[in-house]
Structure 1
Amino acid sequence: MSITVLDTCSAMRRILLAPVADRAGLLRSMLEPNAGMYRYYPGEVDLVSVHLQTSGFPIDRDEERCLDALDTLEAAGAWERIRRALDDALAVLTEATPGLAVPDITVLFVLGDPADEHFMGPCKGLTGFGGISGNIAITLWPFPENVERLEATAVHELHHNLRWSPGGVVWDPMTVTVGEHIVGEGLADAFARQLYGDELGYARIGVPHLHDDAVFDKVLTGLDVTGMENFTAWVHGDAGAEHLGVTPVGLPMGAGYAAGNRLVDAYLAATGRTAAQALHADSAEIIATTLRRG
């Protein structure tokens, strides 16, 4: 078992300084070690196209802006901090879950697109994906708040990765519910908060609605929804849904994160468990425990 944080710092600098005609090939080479993240996609995946479609840094413009952002991350020791945070978090999780099966994990950390209004605005310059066992991807723009939360962001994704790895909770695309996704976000945030405190541990997109009862009640009505194409509307809200061209349901950005935190916090308080100990806790049990407590 190993965690490999790819040296995307050097690779991105090479890409951004290379002739435009050479950049796609260099980008593909940088992305290839994390290609396992797309092993369930139907058909062949063009890694460069996926990168550009998911708010990754551009390869035909904004070079100076991206190089400046890269300098900011390098000066902040971003890659070293992520590596240390993941190692420390893994130690906590393996202690809390004896016999935990941990896959080899590859971590791809890249700059986002400063001209992507949805990424820079509603997403606050940060997206992460850790749901595919053995692969984590983080796309970030170095706003000060995001640089401050590098460690919390990384361990949030690690919690996802180990929750939904073999031997953990099964994510079946045919039957998985919005409730499982929302609980997963709440647990991952709770784990980041366990290690780094509330100020840094919450995902920023959910913070504005943590105490909004109307938002919480609305999210509860969608917990049994299935069909992963519907999840964005309930987890990321209308802004995320409209960005992907799916039907909004009348929720603000990050609503599912806010609701997930409330569900998980009530469960942890009722059981006395930590988020690390609840890595594989059943989402239906978490939801039922919370609703029983009112």
Structure 2
Amino acid sequence: MTITVLDTATAMDAVLRAEASARPELLRRALAPMAGMFRYFPGEVDLVAMHAMSFGFPLDRRGDEVREALSRLQAADAWRRIERALAEAVDIQTRATPQVQVPDISVLLVLGDPDDEYFMGPARGFSGNGSATGYLSLTLWPTEENLGRLEAAAVHELNHNLRYAPGGVVWDPASVVVGEQVVSEGLADAFARQLYGDALGYTPIGGAHLADNAVFAKVVSGLDVGGMQNFAAWVHGDAAATRFGAAPVGVPTGAGYAVGNRLVDAYLAATGTSAAEALHVPSREIIDVALDSRS
């Protein structure tokens, strides 16, 4: 098992310093090691277009501001911190579940788009993806909050990666339901909290709703909704649904994360297991035990 945190500091600097006409191809080369992340997409994926669609930093504006943001990431020793955190997390996870198959992992850290209102607003300048086994991506704007929780964010995405690794939970796009996504976010946060505590481990967008019983009831009512096109609305909330062209369902930003944490915490308390030990527990089992413990 090898964890490779790509040297996007050098790559982004080269892109930002190049002539405008050369920037897309330089970015495409920098992103090439992550192409396998999109292996389930139909047809060939344009990595530069995907970068833009995923809140990636702009190539045609705000150059000085993006370069200054890059300097803040470098000053925070972001790449080394992420590499160290992932190595430590893999060690903890493999001791808890020796049977887990840890793949070689490529890690992408890139700056986000300071002009994207959803990204900088409801999403708090952060977007992560660990759903494709073998690949992790972190797109962020270096706010104090995001710099402070780099390790926790990386470990959160690693948890997704390992949950769906071979031998673990099977993600079937034809049958997956909202409940699996909600539970997976709760498990990933619980694992990050196991390593870094509540102050850093909770995904910030869900924090405001952790004690909101009305939000809990609303999200629980949608746990059996099928179809990945519904996940933005039920997990990330109405603002995300609107941003990505889906129908809002009356869920505030980050509600699925808050509810996932509550369900997972109830399960862990009822069974006396740790987040690491619960890595591959089916979401239906976690939901049923959690809801039974509340009755």
TM-score range normalised by the length of the shorter chain: over 0.9
Residue 93 (structure 2) aligns with = 93
Q: In the TM superposition, what whole-angstrom CA distance separates every residue of 1:199-235 from its partner, at most 9, and x where no partner exists? A: 0000000001010000000000000011100111000
AA in 2 matched with 1:101: Q
Give aligned pairs, total. 294
| TM-score, length-scaled by structure 1 | 0.99
Equivalents in 1 of 2:48, 2:138: separation in Å?
16
1:143 aligns with 2:152: no
- DSSP-derived class of the 2:42 partner: coil
Q: In the TM superposition, what whole-angstrom CA distance separates every residue of 1:103-124 from its partner, at most 9, and x where no partner exists? A: 1110011000001110000000
- DSSP-derived class of the 2:276 partner: coil
Residue 219 (structure 1) aligns with = 219
Residue 111 (structure 2) aligns with = 111
Equivalents in 2 of 1:53, 1:166: separation in Å?
28
AA in 1 matched with 2:13: R
Residue 244 (structure 1) aligns with = 244
| TM-score, length-scaled by structure 2 | 0.99
AA in 2 matched with 1:28: R
Cα deviation for residue 166 of structure 1 reads: 1.0
Cα deviation for residue 44 of structure 1 reads: 1.0
Residue 179 (structure 2) aligns with = 179
Residue 39 (structure 2) aligns with = 39
Equivalents in 1 of 2:199, 2:103: separation in Å?
30
Residue 28 (structure 2) aligns with = 28
- DSSP-derived class of the 1:107 partner: strand
Q: After TM superposition, where is structure 1 displaced by more than 3 Å over at least 4 residues in a row?
A: none
Please list, as runs of the form range in 1=range in 2, the aligned pairs for 1:253-268 lying within 5 A after superposition.
253-268=253-268
Cα deviation for residue 282 of structure 1 reads: 1.1
Cα deviation for residue 99 of structure 1 reads: 2.1
Residue 64 (structure 1) aligns with = 64
The answer for unaligned runs of 5 or more in structure 1 is none
AA in 1 matched with 2:236: H
AA in 2 matched with 1:250: G
Cα deviation for residue 165 of structure 1 reads: 1.1
Q: In the TM superposition, what whole-angstrom CA distance separates every residue of 1:138-193 from its partner, at most 9, and x where no partner exists? A: 10000100000000000000000000111100000000110000000000000000
- DSSP-derived class of the 1:250 partner: coil
Residue 131 (structure 2) aligns with = 131
Q: Aligned Cα RMSD in Å?
A: 0.5
Cα deviation for residue 245 of structure 1 reads: 1.0
> Equivalent pairs: percent with the same residue?
62
Equivalents in 1 of 2:193, 2:100: separation in Å?
21
AA in 2 matched with 1:284: R
Equivalents in 2 of 1:168, 1:136: separation in Å?
17
Cα deviation for residue 246 of structure 1 reads: 0.6
